Structure 1
């Protein structure tokens, strides 16, 4: 196992070295400039089109679920263990400075995530024979946008075969957190987690999105309030903690207590990698979750790119990071990492009740992430089998396969799980960036159409035609 960890970490470190850092930050900066920084500066507009419309019906246009429900399905992937365990590992391996680079990648990643959403809406399809649903994923974009049918099929297989293994990160965090807080045996936790996840995903998109739009916002708000409580209890130390984050981002941090120290390169590497895993900007998950959203224009749905990254990384990850730094847990508990370290931080602040709360939060976040990830992987199955009877048969069989890795391999070392997750995420990023650069003219055409024609027409009181796309899929398209 140690040998496997070394191999995966070596490959992962290479991919997430200077080239990947430049690719992600450079792409985010390039797109932000092309978009005139509207996904960073147009805060009022994006807030009104996201959080401001959470409870105002399904919206206008074509789609399967409301834009808010689609976003909650996406945030089920993003707001999870990455915000809790991912931030903890970023700090323990890259120091407090990793948080600065996490936030920078998030700000620039808003534009990258927006491109994914636009692509998902532009190249989505509607299955009418095997299921009544709009959908898209990387394979649909690869075929419908680039014409790479064989590559799309291979990509679909890789996604639905390897995707479930990334969920081992979630179950590992749940098991260790519940054990730390309540002393619950791992086997019992896994059984309950498995049964409840399976019952939810068995209901398809509408059940998944219905559950997510109720649970994700509520649990995120509770967690944020818990973290704000720690900030208030240590209010005098907050300026120093923020200063430490900025200082450590540009100068090496020496070892102190149980913390071994970190270089600026390590801060950048782990900050960007964990930031990516946290908000998924650049991985292509935005293509999948938002394709089903009901909207009058693809670019309007892309506002959720801003909303997801803002809530996920700017707010939730910052709360986690400051909680770890203010409680000094990353220094005082050197042998604890991942979500278990954040659990310890809440115990330091609130006593045992803090550990109980954080353990439950991790469990719910991991539960929603496993479900959200299933939806993403299932779209690859749908692509591979096409809109046919075979798709009806393959989908329930895949539900069983999907649950097996995270239920059977929850006890693999956290370092190995995170290294494998980084490796798969790197592959997803490379594919997604190819899509974005290849279709940048189409993305900009839609973007300019929205801001130069569609929005001005609405402001004049006109009723511009809704912009929606649907590619007709052949029955049994691939298999």
Structure 2
């Protein structure tokens, strides 16, 4: 039975992340870039100035809202996760080093897409019965498009609810248990017979922590993510830069392999990965899986920001994709490629390939720090996607289902800790792709609104 499900899902996955996804993601990104005159490049210094400037301003958010910094941390909590570690490793193994080039291209276009998503989410948001700001693709479809497009909002929300249990929770918990088990097993702290018991305990502890944070509401989520995200990002970036500096002599060769492999993968992988399209597909799909530009999910967190300027908040979308993909994903790729660890091209690979890059450079002791980083990445993703799931199910059934959903979502952590999730990873990627379709249709149709808002903002007449 599982083999049949896997086969059917594989067909759907290959179709969604094949030509349709390439056309939708790259096409809409290009369309938005041209319509805004490549805002993400033209106004990149301004975007960095605005985002960094607002991050360090101490301010309290109003009731039912987050500060702009908490909003970006909550969005980054969901985006900076195992996709940055396991996803990049998988892209290199299946698509060759050239996949990183296509990841950069998808990020460059994705900056503009995410800018549009965040701007629309803040502009078309609402306040729910609890007094919280709610927004995201379902709300900019509902409030921005005509009634005959409303079905897209319900489609996005339904896909979102189905996705969060896999992408946002079970697979992330599985990553946490794997990281902890590996670190403890390497130091002979536990035996093989104790692994299953330890995983169950980890699952129960995580379920309790997730429930406490999510049930505490939007304020508690913001308080956790604004502390966790900077800590985990800085720790990982410092460790990764250390690997690059210690292997700096390999950097020119690595960049050459990335650029050459983007158009001629076989020349770099020895013929194992010979398809230009496979390199492109893996780079784009893993890039989107990591930075979520095109999914629209990050805009759900940004819609909670205590701000009256949608365009100004939109620049956080540019900052987010830049940090997630151009900085963190690139560093992960350099850790793998500069350290010269063996790569089984054409074979599935995950976090273990990235970790081997760290241990090959620093030695076995660093596995403790990589385990901590992986746990932080995965846990932050669980919290961020928990918020996304709550907003999606609330859109479908109202606020009365929020708390029951949070409890069910928390308990899924126990499943993720104790079961083999090979198939679930694949299904999660499929639902990720399905979420892209209704969102990008809406962003494309509302692109004129974004262009007008950008013009008004820079002309000093923003009145939203």
TM-score by length of 1: 0.88
Checking the alignment, whether the CA contact within 8 Å between 1:40 and 1:110 is kept in structure 2 is no
In 1: Cα distance, 2:297 partner to 2:157 partner: 13
Q: Where do 1:340-355 residues align within 5 Å?
A: 340-355=352-367
Decide which moves more: 94-103 or 28-37. Answer: 28-37
1:400 paired residue among 407, 418, 434: 407
Residue 330 of structure 1 and its aligned partner are, at CA, apart by: 4.7
Please point out which of 272, 276, 284 is paired with 1:264: 276
Mapped contact 1:95–1:267 kept (Cα < 8 A): yes
- Does structure 1 conserve the Cα–Cα contact (< 8 Å) formed by 2:204 and 2:413? no
Question: Aligned residue for 1:182?
Answer: 184
CA distance in structure 1 between the partners assigned to 2:308 and 2:116 by the alignment: 17
Moved more, 414-423 or 76-85: 414-423
Any idea what the Cα deviations from partners look like across 1:327-384, whole Å, max 9, x if unmatched? 2335279977212222222121211222111111010110000000000110122223
Q: Matched residues in 2 for 1:408 and 1:414: separation?
A: 9
Change (3 A) 1:134 1:8: same
Q: Between 180-189 and 420-429, report the one with greater CA deviation.
A: 180-189
CA spacing shift, 1:342–1:426, aligned 2, 3 Å? same
Q: Deviations over 1:12-45 (max 9, x none)?
A: 1111112311221121112112111121232321
Matched, 1:246 2:259: yes
Of 380, 384, 397, which aligns to 1:372?
A: 384
Shift of 1:93: 1.1
Which residue is 1:439 aligned to? Answer: 446
For 1:249 and 1:419, how far apart are their aligned partners in 2? 24
Shift of residue 189 of structure 1?
A: 2.7
Do the aligned residues in 2 keep the contact of 1:59 with 1:295 (CA within 8 Å)? no
What residue is the counterpart of 2:122 in the other structure?
121
Residue in 1 aligned with 2:140?
141
Find the aligned partners of 2:207 and 2:261 in 1 and give their Cα distance: 40
Aligned equivalents of 2:60, 2:313: Cα separation in 1: 11
Spell out, residue by residue over 1:70-117, the C-alpha distance to the aligned partner (whole angstroms, 9 max, x if none): 111100111111101111111111111111100110011000001111
Alpha-carbon contact 1:112-1:281 (below 8 Å) kept: yes
Equivalence for 1:356: 368
Contact 1:59 1:67 in 2 (8 A): no
C-alpha distance in structure 1 between counterparts of 2:24 and 2:156, whole Å:
21
Q: Distance in 2 between matches of 1:251 and 1:411?
A: 41
In 1, Cα distance between equivalents of 2:332 and 2:158: 35
Structure 2 counterpart SS, 1:281: coil
**Contact kept in structure 2, 1:164 and 1:403, CA below 8 Å:** no
- The equivalent residue for 1:222 is 235
For the structure 1 residues 407 and 219, does the alpha-carbon distance in structure 2 shift closer, same or farther, using more than 3 Å as the test? same
1:194 corresponds to: 207
Partner of 2:106: 105
Aligned residues: 449
RMSD of the alignment, in Å? 2.4
Q: 1:14 to 1:154 in 2, by over 3 A?
A: closer
Distance across 2 between alignment mates of 1:9 and 1:288: 29
Q: Does 1:53 align with 2:66?
A: no
